[in-house]
Amino acid sequence: MNQINRAKIVLRILNKIYRKTPIPLKHKNTFTLLISVTLSAQTTDLNVNNVTKDIYKKYYKPEHFVKIGRKKIERLIKSIGLFRNKAKSVYLLSRQLIKKHKGKVPKNFKDLESLHGVGHKTASVIMSQKFGIPAFPVDTHIHRLAQRWGLTNGKNVIQTEKDLKRLFPKKSWNKLHLQIIFYGRQYCKARECYGLTCKICSTCYPNRKKPMKTKKA
């Protein structure tokens, strides 16, 4: 079975399981989604949502975070890992948005990725989920599953993104990246399945006998 056929199987199964794909990070507007994605590095969406549910009731604009300052931001997000670095990013990117973009989140990759603490993955989330522009954010879940399903060699997340964009229709990207994340959390977990037991792995590789080792992102 070649990559194209495996990609068709993946798309068929995921579309059957996940007809709707709500954004897992709770947010109030485009800016708060940008903040939540920034905060989500090396922690769970649940942890981020638990912290931000009270924050976003009062603070939901760049002006709010600049006004309260870094130390206050640190106190607000202290229960999240790497809170000092993340507070710095939240403060500085808020300041950049006010100075360079009139407080609005820019609608292009170049300007998004110029913001402090915003990388290509974060920019891709905003472009796809808030602006509806086709993008394929690749996180650790997607990088792992793409390897298990034989869709990429797993060299790095850049290569994985290129391979997935090549294999799947452009119109499917924005929904598909969330479907893969949901499936990875529910059926093809990092310390379960190992490329052997879930529906997609067993369909794509029915004769695989040994656990699949994947390269980290």
pLDDT mean over 170-189 = 96
Calculate Rg over the CA atoms of the chain: 18
CATH 1.10.340.30 segments of the chain: 30-129
Q: Which has more pLDDT, 155 or 18?
A: 18
Classify the C-alpha dihedral 162-163-164-170 as positive or negative: positive
Can you tell me which residue has the tokens 């500085």? 92
CA torsion, ordered 9, 13, 19, 21, to nearest 10 deg: -80
Question: Does the pLDDT at position 175 exceed 90?
Answer: yes
User: CATH homologous superfamily of domain 30-129?
Assistant: Hypothetical protein; domain 2 (1.10.340.30)
Helix (H, G, I), strand (E, B) or coil at 52: helix
CATH 1.10.1670.10 segments of the chain: 3-21+136-204
Question: Does the pLDDT at position 96 exceed 80?
Answer: yes
pTM: 0.91
For residues 150 and 202, the answer to whether their CB atoms sit within 8 Å is no
CATH topology of domain 3-21+136-204: Endonuclease Iii, domain 2 (1.10.1670)
Residue 32 is predicted with a pLDDT of 98
Q: How far apart are CA 10 and CA 145, in angstroms?
A: 10
Give 215's pLDDT tier (boundaries 50, 70, 90): confident
Residue 93 is predicted with a pLDDT of 98
Q: How far apart are CA 50 and CA 185, in angstroms?
A: 18
Q: How far apart are CA 183 and CA 181, in angstroms?
A: 5
Give 208's pLDDT tier (boundaries 50, 70, 90): very high
Helix (H, G, I), strand (E, B) or coil at 213: coil
Question: Does the pLDDT at position 145 exceed 90?
Answer: yes
